A and B are shown apart, each in its own frame.
Chain A
Amino acid sequence: MKQYLRITAVLLVFGLLILLRNLADNSGNKHRIINQSKASFPSGNNTSSSNNTITAPTAPQTNQAYKDGTYTGSVEDAYYGSVQVQAVIAGGKIKTVSFLQYPNDNGTSRYISSQVMPILVSEALKSQSAQVDIVTGASQTSAAFQRSLQEALKNAS
């Protein structure tokens, strides 16, 4: 678990560095909100040459507050696939950093990405309506629980 957290932390820092480099590269107008998330990029298929090594950016000045907003970093080619991060700045500080892209195409990158990402694909739970043939769910337990609760309430009343 510790090792896992360490890997995650290292990669988070790695992602941050990419983002900060991006911000630094745009120092001319560094408060511009960069939005490249819609742009299309080659997927994590690494048969193409991937000589790009990611170098650490020069350290940003720490006394400088960031402007509030959502900042999207560029897509960077890690050797096992593309990585893209997004940071939300609030109150001049980095509030959250999330991955918009991470490698998930082939077995190797999939394995790596699972170590990198503490959360794989996260979404808000919402209903999907369509005709279904069958349902799966924790139905037995929950139905039993509800019945039991009903009985309990009946007894309590």
Chain B
Amino acid sequence: MPVTIDIRDSLFNPDDIKEVFSYLCYIDDTFSTYKKDSEISKVNQGLINIKDCGEDMKKILMLCEKTKLDTNGYFDIRGNGKLDPSGLVKGFAIRQAAKILKRKGYSNFYLDIGSDIQLCGRKEKGTKWRVGIKNPFSQTEIVKVLELEDMGIATSGTYIRGSHIYNPLTGRKANEIASITVIARDVYDADRFATAAFAMGRDGINFLEDRRNLEAYMIVDGRQAFSTSGFKKYILQT
């Protein structure tokens, strides 16, 4: 997964970046469900008990439970009897990595991991960061340009669509959303709420509208998009 760290402060020490990367590697080694010997994989294989796990695992699982409550059960890490906290770990890790950089004295930077982003400060004096939202149907096209500072942004989505599967409860297409982008005070909130809202389908945008400090942009199909009422203040006026 591509990781980009862009620091605009005048002073810069490469060792600080090394520390951030080693933290991210530790997170990946602990929580990656793709690594057979990660702590989460060992839990899922029944090799270790949750109560014998490290503090970070306990914390992440606790945050997953909290998020499940925050999202009316839509954020659920239990599937096929296995735990998969990846819908929250990435945002958590980016936020922690940003905290490391802040502790080192940096104040104007962004951290981008797989297009979930924590923005801190500004690009230059008086210039906010410009973040583009990609069109999920056209890899090279940007559908919205946002101006942000000191915020987190994350997108949840899929390209695999077009099947005529309907949700029997709602009567709507089960796979009705192409992507949903969430802006929050930090990337941890942006990531977990984007994950949950995506699972809600079209109702996700209404759920986010009701939450304070969250704004969102939802792309339904190749023609239509919806946004929360406070979203437009972040759009670059061109």
Contacts and interface: CB of A to CB of B under 8 A. Distances in A.
Nearest to A107: B212
B82 interface: no
B231 interface: yes
Given A114-B206, A136-B115, A136-B117, A128 B145 contact: yes
Interface stretch (A47-55, A83-91, A137-145): A137-145
Interface in A104-146: 104, 107, 110-111, 113-114, 118-143, 145-146
B188 interface: no
Interface stretch (B39-47, B63-71, B124-132): B124-132
A122 B210 contact: no
Interface string B165-195: 0000010000000110100000000000000
A141 B158 contact: yes
B144 interface: yes
Contacts of A135: 115, 131-134, 142
Contacts of B129: 133-134
B194 to A, nearest CB: 10
Contact of A138 (B123, B134, B226): B134
A130 B141 contact: no
Interface residues of B, number: 57
> Which applies to chain B's interface (DSSP): helix, strand, loop or mixed?
strand
Interface in B184-238: 205-206, 209-210, 212, 219, 221-232, 235-236, 238
A143 to B, nearest CB: 7
A44 to B, nearest CB: 10
A140 B1 contact: yes
B181 A113 contact: no
Nearest to B211: A114
Contacts of B212: 107
A110 B210 CA distance: 8
B134 A122 contact: no
Interface string B103-136: 0000000101011110000010000011111111
Contacts of A110: 209, 229-230
A107 B210 CA distance: 9
Interface of B: 1, 4, 6, 110, 112, 114-117, 123, 129-136, 139, 141-145, 153-160, 170, 178-179, 181, 205-206, 209-210, 212, 219, 221-232, 235-236, 238
